[in-house]
């Protein structure tokens, strides 16, 4: 049974989920989500920019599982941050998903008219269209910028979804978030398959001790750190095995040994100049509308 964390708005979110980034919308997403739900997952993470919201929604509806038992996250793309566009984007996500509400909706990239998007999201939450609202990819520098612009004055984000794994443990950011009781969600919780990370002796020794694989040890470490994880896979065996992290617990010494692996560096830097413009020009989320 998947455990839950309580967000700063009081909602309980499954601490372990299934991510669908880069799974194509050619039936593959439907198949993967359907299998994940059968395997016991109750938290699905998608986004407008993943182009697979419709298949996620269909898999949820066809699963036979009561809607209230499944936590669904989606994210608004920065193309839609202007206030009126943001309102339309929320309704569009609901329509594509085929759901009456979204459990968590995030600002996917923290550039541009974030303040206008945030206003629209607060209103949608009050209207019952969204249960919890949050942000994604906010570094300490970006967080402080928006905090100073008081966009969080009316409503603090429930989560900040960022890159997180044993090589990038976001220690500075987590201190800022802890002050505001903001929960961290991890994308790339397995370091996107980094061979060096998977070869780390300390992780392999711990895995051997518990009869687990290295990926399961990483996910268990992150869970014990209070981080929400949703590893992505389209392989049934891997989807199932990723979940098997609740039958063992790392000792404090083992946790410290994994904490010592931190390199404080991720696969990309959201603070680099022009990064927001590059993302905005990367693709058009309305190309197929």
**What is the phi/psi pair of residue 244, to 5°?**
-80, 65
Report percent pLDDT > 90 for the chain: 90
252-286: buried (b, 16+ CB within 10 Å) or exposed (e) per residue?
Answer: eebbebbeebeeeebeeebeeeebbeebbeeeebe
pLDDT score at 41: 96
Distance of alpha carbon 194 from alpha carbon 57, whole angstroms? 31
The string of pLDDT tens digits covering residues 211-250 is 999 999 999 999 999 999 998 888 888 899 999 999 999 9
* pLDDT score of 1 more than 60: no
pLDDT of residue 260: 98
Res 2: pLDDT: 67
Q: How many CB atoms lie within 10 A of CB 126?
A: 10
Parallel, antiparallel or unpaired: strands 159-163 and 43-45:
unpaired
- Span 79-97, pLDDT tens digits: 999 999 999 999 999 999 9
Which distant-in-sequence residues (6+ apart) come within 8 Å of 89 by Cβ?
48, 76, 77, 80
Average pLDDT, the chain: 95
The pLDDT score that the predictor gives to residue 234 is 80
Give the integer Cα–Cα distance in Å for 83 and 30. 31
**pLDDT bucket at 193, cuts 50 / 70 / 90:** confident
Q: How far is CA 71 from CA 9, 57, 190, in A?
A: 15, 11, 22
Q: pLDDT-derived band of residue 178, with 50, 70 and 90 as boundaries?
A: very high
- The residue written with tokens 């629209």 in the block is 120
The C-alpha atoms of residue 157 and residue 253 are separated, in whole angstroms, by 32
* Predicted TM-score of the model (pTM): 0.96
pLDDT in tens, 89-130: 999 999 999 999 999 999 999 999 999 999 999 999 999 999
Mean pLDDT, residues 146-170 taken together: 94
Phi, psi of 11 (to 5 degrees): -75, 145
User: 133: closest CA among 165, 101, 99, 97?
Assistant: 101
Q: What's the pLDDT band for 201 if we cut at 50, 70, 90? A: very high
Q: Which of 3, 12, 224, 231 is nearest to 104 (CA)?
A: 12
State mean pLDDT over 164-192: 96
Q: Would the pLDDT of 67 be above 90? A: yes
Q: Cα separation of 145 and 92, whole Å?
A: 29
Torsion of CA 16, 243, 269, 156, to 10 degrees: 0
Residues catalogued as catalytic: 50
Mean pLDDT, residues 165-185 taken together: 97
**Predicted pLDDT at 44:** 97
The DSSP element (H or E) to which 145 belongs, if any, is helix 140-148
pLDDT value of position 151: 87
**Mean pLDDT lowest for which of 55-64, 116-125, 162-171, 265-274?**
265-274
């Amino acid at each position: 049974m998947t455990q839950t964390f309580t967000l700063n708005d009081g909602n309980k979110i499954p601490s372990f989920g299934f991510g669908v980034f880069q799974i194509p919308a050619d039936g593959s997403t439907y198949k993967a989500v359907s299998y994940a739900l059968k395997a016991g997952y109750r938290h699905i993470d998608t986004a407008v920019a993943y182009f697979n919201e419709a298949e996620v929604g269909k898999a949820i509806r066809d699963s036979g599982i009561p809607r209230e038992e499944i936590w669904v996250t989606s994210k608004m793309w920065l193309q839609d941050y202007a206030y009126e566009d943001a309102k339309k984007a929320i309704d569009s996500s609901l329509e594509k998903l085929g759901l009456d509400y979204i459990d968590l909706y995030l600002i996917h990239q923290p550039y541009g008219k974030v303040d206008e998007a945030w206003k629209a999201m607060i209103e949608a939450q009050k209207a019952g269209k969204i249960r919890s609202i949050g942000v994604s990819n906010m570094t300490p520098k970006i967080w402080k910028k928006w905090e100073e612009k008081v966009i969080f004055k009316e409503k603090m984000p429930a989560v900040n979804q960022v890159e997180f794994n044993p090589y990038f443990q976001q220690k500075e950011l987590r201190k800022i978030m802890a002050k505001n009781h903001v929960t961290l969600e991890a994308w790339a919780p397995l370091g996107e398959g980094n061979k060096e990370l998977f070869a780390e002796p300390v992780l392999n020794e711990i895995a051997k001790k518990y009869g687990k694989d290295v990926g399961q040890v990483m996910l268990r470490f992150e869970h014990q750190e209070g981080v929400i994880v949703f590893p992505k896979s389209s392989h049934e065996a891997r989807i199932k095995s990723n979940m098997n992290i609740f039958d063992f617990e790392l000792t404090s010494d083992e946790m410290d040994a994994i904490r010592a692996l931190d390199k404080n560096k991720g696969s990309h830097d959201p603070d680099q100049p022009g990064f927001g413009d590059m993302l905005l020009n990367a693709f058009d989320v309305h190309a197929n509308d």
